[in-house]
Amino acid sequence: MSETTDAITGASILLDEVTKQYPGQTRPAVGGLTLEIPAGSIVMFVGPSGCGKTTTLKMINRLIEPSSGKIVINGEDVTKMDGDTLRRRIGYVIQAGGLFPHMTVAANIAIVPKMLGWDKAKIAARVDELLELVSLDPSIYRDRYPKELSGGQQQRVGVARALAADPPVLLMDEPFGAVDPITRQRLQDELLNIQSEVQKTIVMVTHDFDEAVKLGDWIAVFDEGAQLVQYDSPERVLANPANEFVENFIGSGAGLKQLTLTRVNQVKLNEAVTALPGELASDVLSRVQGAGQPLAVVLDKRRRPVRRLTRRQLSRLQIVDDTIDESMPVVGDQATLNDALDTMLVASSETAVVTGRRDAFLGVINVQTIMEAISAANAAAAEAEGDAPVGLNSGAIPAIAIEGALAANGHDGGNTSEDLQDVEEPR
């Protein structure tokens, strides 16, 4: 599949009036769904249990065959293509990684490259590269078995495996459903970091609306039969829910959810005095006082924060040592302001230390910054503009009405099934 731009390696996906009718079921699990998924974007599927999210996802790589309709990837109709060939071009991640327990981490990651006939050296190099990408040290993890990994580590290996043959599309079915909330937050941040490097097209099913808001460029809210209720940016779904169904789905605290829309790297961080182990504490203290700061952040040789020292602590110390403070509140710069606030609350601290690539120190974020960002985010959401991709269900609606709706929307509309009802039954 060809690249859309230099940066984006992902492919566009079009579900064209796709229907899935399971044998013996009275109603289709997916009814006439047309959905445009732009190349290089992350699209999140949300909706109540049994509404057809997984069925829709699995029709993209044809683990489930559509009863009718077309799947088009980068302009190519793949509906009739050999399923195995198709699936080698599409990474697939499921809950808990779905790793083969009797295979090492390296062997798990190497499955698709092996099937594609890559030579051993190329596979070994790719395995190590991917383990680095998902923040697992290859020398420690490549020969381990899945049971020797934590849930979060298994999930990372699952992502590495899906990316092995550099597919343009990644399908993820509740990938972070089985891990604890803190690990989940880290994995989400990591996925965003990885995505900023690889720019794949990612389609993810989730039960967690906050996750959809955090990760999604676009959110598709489905009701039963994969009826698309709203397909739009997280900002606009939060600010203008299409109807009561979406409102209920968002749940309470939509205002606070705006916090999930802003990442730490989007707000101005506070500078902080930094210190290195081995420095005279009195020197550091005078820098802290000179800068009018309450504390200094101690960094290791790779500029990773290890602890914080208040003025009082500094006045009692002779030499700054490299003791690590495990309880120091630290957030990555891809974390949301919601995550940052959580981290501060857990640590009972009004500030958190912010790190970037390879955990290097970037600055400090405080509660005040977050409060200001809530107001700014709410104001911005109300004004957010721009075109949403096409999304609609044909279902029982006459083709002519769909064409009309497409034309009316210029193929760009913030489309909802309500829009179509407007077309079908003018009020």
Ligand X SMILES: Nc1ncnc2c1ncn2[C@@H]1O[C@H](COP(=O)(O)OP(=O)(O)OP(=O)(O)O)[C@@H](O)[C@H]1O
Interface residues toward ligand X, by CB under 6 A:
22, 25, 29, 47, 49-55
Per-residue DSSP letter, 418: H
Residue 331: closest CA among 359, 300, 290 = 359
> Between the CA of residue 58 and those of 61, 65, 135, 293, what are the distances in Å?
6, 8, 28, 54
Nearer to ligand X, 170 or 273 (CB): 170
CB-nearer residue toward ligand X: 174 or 333: 174
Task: Give the nearer residue to ligand X in terms of CB position, either 25 or 85.
Answer: 25
User: How far apart are CB 34 and ligand X at their closest, in Å?
Assistant: 17
Q: Which is nearer to ligand X, 22 or 100 (CB)?
A: 22
Measure the CA–CA gap between 230 and 388, rounded to whole angstroms: 10
One-letter amino acid of 195: Q
- Does residue 45 contact residue 58 with C-beta atoms inside 8 Å? no
- State the minimum distance, in angstroms, from the CB of residue 162 to ligand X: 19
d(CA 378, CA 254): 10
By beta-carbon proximity to ligand X, the closer residue of 29 and 306 is 29
Q: What is the DSSP letter of 37?
A: E
Shortest distance, position 8 Cβ to ligand X, whole Å: 28
Length of the chain: 427
Q: How far apart are CA 7 and CA 238, in angstroms?
A: 29
CA-based radius of gyration for the chain: 24
Q: Between 172 and 381, whose beta carbon lies closer to ligand X?
A: 172
Reduce the DSSP state of residue 179 to 3 states and report it. Answer: coil
Q: How far is the CB of 27 from ligand X (least distance, A)?
A: 8
Structure tokens at 139: 């020398």
Residue with tokens 């120091």: 328
Per-residue DSSP letters for 52-120? SHHHHHHHHTTSS--SEEEEEETTEE-SSS-HHHHHHTEEEEEGGGG--TTS-HHHHHTHHHHHTT--H
Name the DSSP letter for residue 218.
E
For ligand X, which is the closer residue by CB, 219 or 284? 219
Considering the complex, what minimum distance in angstroms separates the CB of residue 118 from ligand X? 33
- In this complex, which beta carbon is closest to ligand X, that of residue 46 or of residue 192? 46
The minimum distance between CB 22 and ligand X, in angstroms, equals: 3
Distance in Å, CB of 177 to ligand X, minimum: 10
Q: State the minimum distance, in angstroms, from the CB of residue 66 to ligand X.
A: 13
DSSP 392: E
CB of 78 to ligand X, least distance (A): 20
Under 8 Å between Cβ of 94 and 175: yes
Our CB check for ligand X shows the closer of 205 and 259 to be 205
Query: Residue 351, Cβ neighbours under 10 Å: how many?
Result: 21
Between 53 and 186, CB nearer to ligand X: 53
CB of 210 to ligand X, least distance (A): 16
Rounded Cα distance between 174 and 171, Å, is 10
- Pair 217, 43: CB distance under 8 Å: yes
